[in-house]
Structure 1
């Protein structure tokens, strides 16, 4: 089973995180039993579950980029037209 990044896990809601942990436990068990055919379906569910957290991470990155740009303009490092 492939884990998601720590950054993504940090943006999961409590409910999402509980479900993520349960799915990972089931998937790991299936892999131990050499049932990779079933673990594949669990991994797909994990991938779907973490999509909202990935989107939240992207949004945070875009907001950080905007703040950096505002800072650079305020400090005179860039002109407003350079955006």
Structure 2
């Protein structure tokens, strides 16, 4: 559910353009929570592709959003 929330947020900002900082903070926080659960329960293999796609889909997004998600991704998956 947490990854779905972030995926939908990424689609929303892609469709409607840059939102505001609280929107991106919310997405970053949820992505961090999701990756903590992934690490805790050893779900790396079944979730890495979705997480990687989220990061890739944000490469053109402002507010440092992509950079933050990339950092979280690298901390979780070591890549």
Please, what TM-score do these two structures have when normalized by structure 1?
0.35
Ranked by relative contact order (alpha carbons within 8 Å, sequence separation 6 or more), the top structure is 2
Who wins on radius of gyration, i.e. which is larger?
A: 1
Please, what TM-score do these two structures have when normalized by structure 2?
0.36
